[in-house]
Structure 1
Amino acid sequence: VSREFFRLLGAELFDLRSRFFDQAVAEEARVLWFDRASPRDPVDFWMLGVVLGLAIYNNLPGIDARYPVCMFRKLRGESLGLGDLAEVYPTVAGSLQALLTWQPETSMAPVAASELFSATFGLDFAVSYEDGGAICVAELKPSGKDIPVTLSNRVEFVDLYCQWALTDSISRQFDSFKKGFGRVCESPLLQALTGEELARIVVGETDIELAHLRPKARYEGFDAGSEYIAWLWDILEGFDAMQSRLFLSFVTGSDRSPVGGLGELELVVQKAGG
């Protein structure tokens, strides 16, 4: 009952129409990330954090919360960088990586190389973004719009961009969310987990190979070597990803694997009528 309650509640909260999360990010990266232009009140994000905390507190892993690992790293206060940005904004992260790896021809003079870099990228320490249909500008440092990005300061630009995109631009939403989560999950054990470990608990493992259920499977009313059991595994192991998730949801209440993968589950195959 508890799992079904959280599944239904999660389906409502994690619906993109709720305006908690950025739809463009969900479509590109297939993860849930806070909508910096969300009209929701901070208390709504606080409650969203409480719900996530309650799901963990009640030992309900694998709820359909497609948060990226970097969100859990943020909850743990871990520093974030370009690799984390790639989870949320993969196209932008790719462009920033190209910025960092750009190299002039070896024969090019330093001044010419700097001019070519500026002409190629044409960036400054300011970011344009949309908020409610209006185009806004955020400066990554004081007077940022007047400071060009050069070969010598490009690393600083990437670091400040990651800081803005993953922290500063969503501080109103995330800070409330973190307070709600912390209101429930202040256990020393949970505090000892890394962001990646916490993500595995909440989101579940990606393993959906149903064959991994077989070693621990238990049969009641059947012999493990019977023809019927052989047919069952032939069918299950022939499922595609969607069918496997549907089957997993049917037998466990969640379409995501538990921590450690499907090999940690004990599937009981029981003959109808005993």
Structure 2
Amino acid sequence: MEFDNDLPARIKEQADIVQVIGECVELKRAGVRFLGRCPFHNEKTPSFSVHPGQQFFHCFGCGASGDVFEFQMKYHNLDFPTAMKELARRYNVEIPKRPQSKEEQEKNRKRKAMYAVNEKATAIFRKTLLNSSQAKAAREYLTERQIPEDIQERFALGYAPSPDTAGWNFLGSQLNKDEQQAAIDVGLLVAKESGGTYDRFRDRVLFPIYDRRGRVIGFGGRIIGEGQPKYMNSPESLVFNKS
């Protein structure tokens, strides 16, 4: 049976890799990823990592890695067409008789880029909260609010520094051109009329917003210093609907 070229991407868009693997492996959240014991070799300490935002798994013990199709094929001993058809049926993805339009393909490409840049931003903000001297007040705020460190780690809380100490393009300066465009599309960066970008979130503790599949779709930010608004959320996008 022949499939159109975009069918695997559309199945991956709908398939919940954490759910699929979680039915075979006991997984626990660790920040933006999930950890468990690898099903492909014997181990006592979990080294099997599942990344919902980027839709892949990797074992640091035996090196097994891949996407949701690769897991289905390897774990259930299936060929690729069978794995794809089973996932399509499970997640109600129609196997079309026609290829996707260019508009549909472009939307899928943009969604994928948005999920990826959100996950990268989450890691950057998390590292800043943990390690930067600029985040001292943010760490004190979380302590005062009695938010335990294990909860902070589990939900990957982060910090976007003040432009007074980090400049107005702290995040944008750490992204390549394509990532910057995705960050604009998802609302992490704001495009200037004169060219260039600046960070939307500044001097804020950031709380990633997850969808039911564990992907970061936006952020909620609480100001640490002076400024308004006190609370700010990501704007709506192809991956984040506030309704």
Say which structure, 1 or 2, has more relative contact order (CA 8 Å, 6+ apart). 1
Q: TM-score, normalised by structure 1?
A: 0.26
Q: Give the structure with higher Rg (CA).
A: 1
